[in-house]
Structure 1
Amino acid sequence: MGVTPNIAPSMLSADFANLSSEAHRILNSGADWLHMDVMSHLTLFFSNSSSIPCRHFVPNLTIGAPVIESLRKHTTAYLDCHMMVTNPLDYVEPLGKAGASGFTFHVETSKDNWQELIQMIKSHGMRPGVALNPGTPIGEVYPLVEAEKPVEMVLVMTVEPGFGGQKFMPEMMDKVRILRKRYPLLDIEVDGGLGPSNIDMAASAGANCIVAGSSVFGASEPAEVISLLRSSVQKA
């Protein structure tokens, strides 16, 4: 049994003034999940070489629990929440109450409390995942995947987090290949600059959960793009 393809258009690229209709439009076009980027302007990014905060993790304040709660009233879809925040523990209860389905936190901000965090995410009925930035070594996530109570998905960032429309970083596929070889049945998600021009590269490396924003929402026929993304993952 292989892994299941999941196409997760990023709602960060949707029309925020019509979020409910945008969600229905993209789900009717064949999307499996809705990817929700939860960002805080107070979040700090920790560089690879130091535990000293070197800059704001993400300069934008975007989707939060109130938006997710509002959207949940209009859809039963899987809400794949990517938490780009300083202290994910503070967000578990609000996101769980809001109706989030998945809660993916960053390993860079959770090195000291990830075990507690995973347990808390599960206790609030959400599926735990861990993300890592382009500069973070892949080995940082091994303990979280191999723990007694593990994360259930690894998100490999293929752009620097914080903005939509960035260029895909093909060198990140080495991380995906390593993960797929080490964990054949793990859900591996890629996020950043994905679209028809590079989906085969991501799929062949082993990614099965595909986040795509601009390439889906900016397409004249989103259903065709989603179908192409799914087909590539299935073939791989």
Structure 2
Amino acid sequence: MSRDKLELIRKSAPSVLPSLLLCDFGDLKGELARLEDAGAEVLHLDVMDGNFVGNLTYGMPIVEGIRRHSDLPMDVHLMITDPLAYAKPMVDAGADLLTFHVEAVDDVAAVAAQIREMGVGVGVALNPETPLSAIEPCLDIVDLALVMSVKAGFGGQKFNPVALDKLRSLKQSHPKLLLEIDGGIDATTIGPAREAGCDLFVVGSAIFKKDDYKAAISVLDDAIAGVAE
């Protein structure tokens, strides 16, 4: 089922992925309904352990809760020191795509292969200071590369344009690979990211700090559509 959801993620591209880190967890069911009504096709979940990154978010119970109230594909970003320790529990909780950080593992290809065997989509992420060469060993195994345009761990950071150079390089070398960007994405940065070849755009503040989610997503979609193919 999760690989089927991966195909839905592919078909949604180019797509805005609301990052639930900034949603109202006191009304999670209501937030999910608002996002679906606003046209969201994929949900992005940031899982942080307080170790790999300085922030601490949520674990499997939240993923399970979201799955109970939404059939949308879930793109789960593991910002944790031991992704394999939590990969299977996250799959069991309802994750459809698991993305781990290259900076957190010793053998990026082996980790990618083990997650793929769990029947879900697999992605690899890298921070702005990490060179593309670090993820090269797994690019023929993964379904997605997540290029961070801020250092992983906290929302609201300023967009780092180094991500655009990485997206261009990946698009040229691996044209069929799904490309995702996360960090500082708003109406001014989403267009350049699309122009650089990005498919999936993780957005937090530019949606959740607006009163009207549908209008916020529409502005972002228009900025994507404004980029010449």
Note whether the superposition's TM-score is higher than 0.5. yes
CA distance in structure 2 between the aligned counterparts of 1:32 and 1:233, rounded to whole angstroms:
15
Structure 1, unmatched stretches of 5+, are 44-57
Aligned to 1:138: 132
CA distance in structure 2 between the aligned counterparts of 1:195 and 1:134, rounded to whole angstroms:
18
Q: Deviations over 1:142-165 (max 9, x none)?
A: 22112xxx1000000001111111
1:4 partner letter: A
Say if 1:11 and 1:37, in contact at 8 Å, map to a contact too: yes
What secondary structure, in the 3-state scheme, does the structure 2 residue paired with 1:164 have?
A: coil
CA distance in structure 2 between the aligned counterparts of 1:233 and 1:188, rounded to whole angstroms:
14
Q: Deviations over 1:56-84 (max 9, x none)?
A: xx112102111101111111111110000
Please tell me whether residue 109 in structure 1 is matched to residue 104 in structure 2.
yes
Aligned to 1:158: 149
The Cα of 1:90 is off from its aligned counterpart by 0.1
1:35-184 alignment to 2 at 5 Å?
35-43=44-52, 58-112=53-107, 114-146=108-140, 150-184=141-175
What secondary structure, in the 3-state scheme, does the structure 1 residue paired with 2:69 have?
A: coil
What secondary structure, in the 3-state scheme, does the structure 1 residue paired with 2:44 have?
A: strand
TM-score between both structures, scaled by the size of structure 1: 0.86
Say if 2:79 and 2:100, in contact at 8 Å, map to a contact too: yes
CA distance in structure 2 between the aligned counterparts of 1:33 and 1:233, rounded to whole angstroms:
16
Structure 2, unmatched stretches of 5+, are 1-10
Count of residues in Structure 1 that have an aligned counterpart in Structure 2: 217
Aligned to 2:5: none
TM-score between both structures, scaled by the size of structure 2: 0.89
Q: Deviations over 1:14-34 (max 9, x none)?
A: 011112211221121011211
Q: Which moved more, 1:117-126 or 1:25-34?
A: 117-126
- Percentage of pairs with the same residue: 41
CA distance in structure 1 between the aligned counterparts of 2:170 and 2:109, rounded to whole angstroms:
20
CA distance in structure 2 between the aligned counterparts of 1:187 and 1:127, rounded to whole angstroms:
11
Backbone CA RMSD of aligned residues: 1.7
CA distance in structure 2 between the aligned counterparts of 1:140 and 1:20, rounded to whole angstroms:
39
Give the 3 Å change call, closer, same or farther, for CA 72–134 of structure 1 in structure 2: same
What secondary structure, in the 3-state scheme, does the structure 2 residue paired with 1:97 have?
A: helix
Aligned to 2:209: 218
Q: Which moved more, 1:13-22 or 1:79-88?
A: 13-22
Q: Which moved more, 1:2-11 or 1:175-184?
A: 2-11
What secondary structure, in the 3-state scheme, does the structure 2 residue paired with 1:73 have?
A: helix
Say if 1:133 and 1:156, in contact at 8 Å, map to a contact too: yes
Aligned to 1:207: 198
